[in-house]
Amino acid sequence: MSDLGTAPAPTRGETTVEEYGGGLRALTSRFRGGDLGVLPVVVGLVVIWTVMQILNPVFLSSTNLVNLTLECVPVGVIALGVGFMLLVGQIDLSIGSLSGMAAAVTAILFVGHGWSPWLAVPAAVVISGAVGWLYAQVFNRLGVPSFVITLAGLLGFLGIQLWVLGAAGSINLPFDSGLVAFAQLDFVPQWLSYTLIVVAAAGLFASGYLRARERRRAGLAAASIQGLLLRSVVLLAGAGVAVWYLGRTRGVGWMFVLFLALVLVTHYVLTRTKYGKSIYAVGGNVEAARRAGINVKAVYTSAFVLCTTLAAIGGVLAAARLAASNQSSGGGDVNLNAIAAVVIGGTSLFGGRGSAFAALFGIVVIQSISSGLTLLNLDSSYRYMVTGAVLLLAVALDAVARRSRASHGRA
Amino acid sequence: MSTSPSDAGTLLSLRGITKTFGAVAALTDVDLDVAAGEVVAVVGDNGAGKSTLVKVLSGVHAPDAGTITFEDRAVTIPSPAAAQSLGIATVFQDLALCENLNVIENLFLGRELRALRLNDVAMEVRSRELLDQLSAKIPTVRIPVAALSGGQRQTVAIARSLLGDPKIVILDEPTAALGVAQTAEVLNLIDRLRERGHGVIMISHNMADVLAVADKVAVLRLGRNNGVFDALETTSEEIVTAITGATDNAVTRRARRGRRATEAVKEADDE
């Protein structure tokens, strides 16, 4: 540590002075230490949007962006679940199959057996969650790598999906059902969108203010009122402009609101609860987590179950968006896009690093590439190649950051 | 030689601790006493049973025979949790820190305040207090452990062991992987633990470190006690002799071979 010698000897009285601005210093040292967070993906997103807009001026049109927000959701929800797995240093390769199976189960119960969607969807989600529990039992008790368990699951549940769908191979969901309407037609009224944004900005400021007051009372470095105000105003203005712009055509879909809500809840759980810390601890150093008294097996189990549950929700949303469940639901690139999204979003494949926002930003990047290239009338061959290149870039960045961390760790 | 079990202020005393793994006797009839505010160094060659002794005390292994008396009560330590609730904290050689978490998160790992809405203000205040008491040189507590030096990590690990307010702190090879300056830092820290009234058991290979900080040096050889020395009156040669077995009390059959080894060590020391 080069600044060891220059650091003032901390005595009890002057801790506040010494720590003043500690937040900023912690942030810069975090970046230098190789913990980049979502910064690279935000920069990447700006670049992609600029290039796409130059290539085709329709890209940033309100119509296209509304579509983009809706397209993001199904795979984004799946990606959120994969995030939990990557954080504990494991992976789930069967998310695509599970999402397809959940879509098939929902369709067969809803259309085939005439169940209410309020029963059919939870049934499909619970079945998928149970699969996650089963994975976790095999993982915890037998010690089979998650990679292999879920690879078996990928094949097995694809089979079940095909079997459930039967000979027809495709079940259409009625257009007048609430499920399809939710994914295609239901948009938040503009006034409500604006209200929600104001509430969110006010909530952000209030929570920040209370937190800063508590910290200042305890003699710790705290954000200034101006900084907090600025943050809230930026959110207010940014989200306000976005809502206004999307509102020029259809507006903000309820499905997208659901996705944002899931991301925010996940963010809270990961950063502000004991459970969230145990997720990071298990991903960072299993042995240390175990010795700290964390029930490591329970943490793994919860990650598996959350992942498969969110995969099922994503699968149902995909089927709703398509208004059909068929043999290719959850097939193709769903699996890899979901995993790629979290990695592009800055979640480390090595475990212990990442955030809920990785899924959000990552999926927006992937869908932006997909949407932009479609607008250019380029077929999926280009989409795969570009997405592959971006993924490679993201993983390379992760590996380099990891090496930087290692060298800083030694310093 | 060994102190009597009824010594005033004795916090922890082991009597006749024996542990075998299959045919291998890792510990045979081992005694050890630690008082409050006393640093006891446990030294010995590889395979002398130091690590097994640490594991018995930290609840990882149960002894096959012998008694453990803690604060005048006979106790058993069946699990690491039991050791912690008794007030015996262990800092293992690998430190068991999560590099991706910051100092506060590591200190409070597994015992965070307010599970559903973390009270990070209270945790940060407590972390800073603790590190200040140890005069730890940590630039900021919100930095990931990955960015800390070896000595700083050792400090964090020791600070974490103090969170549960233990009576006894066991340090397994605390200076093994450290440079000169960092070793000095950790030795200062051990001094401070003694000033705070903790009993400290320090496992070490390094004679200089042991003599610099310990009050008492207990030597293990081939799983048996081989003498307890007052650190102020002994010399490193005397301890090395005990470690390698050339004393009058044990394994006389090997005495001659051992003495030869001792001379070799002495020569190595002189160079």
How far, in Å, CA of B228 to CA of B204, rounded? 15
pLDDT at A411 over 90: no
pLDDT at A67 over 70: yes
How far, in Å, CA of A391 to CA of A395, rounded? 6
Q: Tell me the C-alpha to C-alpha distance, in Å, between residue A407 and each of A81, A283, A349, B117, B148.
A: 31, 20, 19, 34, 11
Angle CA A220–A226–A228, to nearest 5: 70
Q: Measure in Å the smallest separation between the Cα of A278 and chain B Cα atoms.
A: 7
CB atoms under 10 Å from CB of A368, counted, come to 22
Q: Do B99 and A29 touch (CB under 8 A)?
A: no
Across chain B, mean pLDDT equals: 85
Instruction: Please tell me the least confidently modeled range out of A23-27, A402-406, B114-118.
Output: A23-27
pLDDT at B5 over 90: no
How far, in Å, CA of A386 to CA of B147, rounded? 35
Q: Is B96 on the interface with A (CB under 8 A)?
A: yes
Q: Residue B42 belongs to what H/E stretch?
A: strand B39-44
B164 pLDDT tier (thresholds 50, 70, 90): confident
Strand B39-44 to B88-91 pairing: unpaired
ipTM of the complex: 0.86
B257's CB contacts (< 8 A; 6+ apart) are none
The residue among A82 and B80 whose pLDDT is bigger is A82
pLDDT of residue B219: 92
The residue among A257 and A4 whose pLDDT is bigger is A257
pLDDT of residue B263: 62
As beta bridge partners, residue B35 has: B10
- Least CA distance to A212: which residue of chain B? B121
Interface test with B, best of A277, A290, A355 (most B CBs within 10 A): A277
Q: Do A281 and B101 touch (CB under 8 A)?
A: yes
pLDDT at A308 over 60: yes
pLDDT of residue B89: 92
Interface test with A, best of B79, B93, B100 (most A CBs within 10 A): B100
Across chain A, mean pLDDT equals: 88
pLDDT at A129 over 90: yes
pLDDT of residue B39: 95
Name residue, tokens 């943050």: A231
Angle separating helix axes A356-375 and A254-272, nearest 10 degrees:
150
Domains of chain B with CATH codes: 1-87+166-234 (3.40.50.300), 95-165 (no CATH)
For the whole model, what pTM was predicted? 0.86
pLDDT of residue B270: 59
Q: Tell me the C-alpha to C-alpha distance, in Å, between residue A278 and each of A126, A406, B95, B101, B111.
A: 24, 22, 17, 10, 10
pLDDT of residue B267: 63
Q: Is B1 on the interface with A (CB under 8 A)?
A: no
DSSP annotation of B173 reads S
B258 pLDDT tier (thresholds 50, 70, 90): low
Instruction: Render A132-168 in DSSP notation, one character per residue.
Output: HHHHHHIIIII---HHHHHHHHHHHHHHHHHHHHTTT
- What are A47's two structure tokens? 């670049």
Q: Measure in Å the smallest separation between the Cα of B123 and chain A Cα atoms.
A: 11
- Give the pLDDT mean for A121-129: 97
Q: Is B60 on the interface with A (CB under 8 A)?
A: no
Instruction: Please tell me the least confidently modeled range out of A72-76, A255-259, B38-42, B255-259.
Output: B255-259
- Give the pLDDT mean for A320-328: 93
Task: Report whether CATH 1.10.3470 matches the domain A36-186+253-404.
Answer: yes
Beta carbons of A108 and A165 less than 8 angstroms apart: yes
**Highest-confidence range of A87-101, B55-69, B78-92, by mean pLDDT?**
A87-101
- Give the pLDDT mean for A336-362: 92
> Sign of the CA dihedral B160, B161, B167, B168?
negative
Q: Measure in Å the smallest separation between the Cα of A307 and chain B Cα atoms.
A: 21
Name residue, tokens 């963010």: A267
pLDDT of residue A18: 37
A77's CB contacts (< 8 A; 6+ apart) are A259, A262, A310, A313, A314, A317
> Sign of the CA dihedral A115, A76, A27, A399?
positive
- Alpha helices (H) along B58-102: 80-86
B239 pLDDT tier (thresholds 50, 70, 90): confident
Q: Do A273 and B116 touch (CB under 8 A)?
A: yes
A17 pLDDT tier (thresholds 50, 70, 90): very low
Which amino acid is residue B40, in one-letter code? Answer: V
B8 pLDDT tier (thresholds 50, 70, 90): low
> Sign of the CA dihedral A122, A124, A125, A130?
positive
pLDDT of residue B265: 63
Q: Is B121 on the interface with A (CB under 8 A)?
A: yes
Identify all chain A residues contacting B102, using CB atoms and an 8 Å cutoff.
26
- Least CA distance to A9: which residue of chain B? B137
A2 pLDDT tier (thresholds 50, 70, 90): very low
Identify all chain A residues contacting B101, using CB atoms and an 8 Å cutoff.
277, 280-281, 284
